Structure 1
């Protein structure tokens, strides 16, 4: 499956604890859409969240976010992992 990096630009500071809760909600729903959220990174002060996701397409990845907590990505990039 393709690998995507999505970017959430919240505009306000965000806590790692809040993002962890949203990620747990994603994990609870991901199988229903053939998606696997792998990792995430948080810029707490900058209000940015970056999610690495294995998904059939960008819309499937965003559907999980939408259904889990409503925080859809502002950008989704097709990526390839390097060594």
Structure 2
């Protein structure tokens, strides 16, 4: 299945707890769409969040975020895993 990195450039009021909660909401919804949100990274000071996701396509990955918490990514980039 294709792998994507989604990027949220500035999530207002971002905290570790908030991003963890949003990720948990993704996990609760993802099976409905055949998506696997694998991991996330964030920077509280800039409000940036990065999510690694396996999904049939970028639109389906976005649909999970939209339904789970409404924080749709600014970019969704196809990526390949390296070593």
Question: One fold, TM greater than 0.5?
Answer: yes
Unaligned runs of 5+ in 1: none
Tell me the distance in 2 between the aligned counterparts of 1:75 and 1:31: 22
Instruction: Show the 5 A alignment for 1:20-31.
Output: 20-31=20-31
Q: Give the alignment's TM-score, normalised by structure 1.
A: 0.96
Q: Give the alignment's TM-score, normalised by structure 2.
A: 0.96
Tell me the distance in 2 between the aligned counterparts of 1:13 and 1:28: 23
User: Once superposed, which parts of structure 1, at least 4 consecutive aligned residues long, lie more than 6 Å away?
Assistant: none
Report the aligned-residue RMSD: 1.0
- How far is the alpha carbon of 1:69 from its aligned partner? 0.3
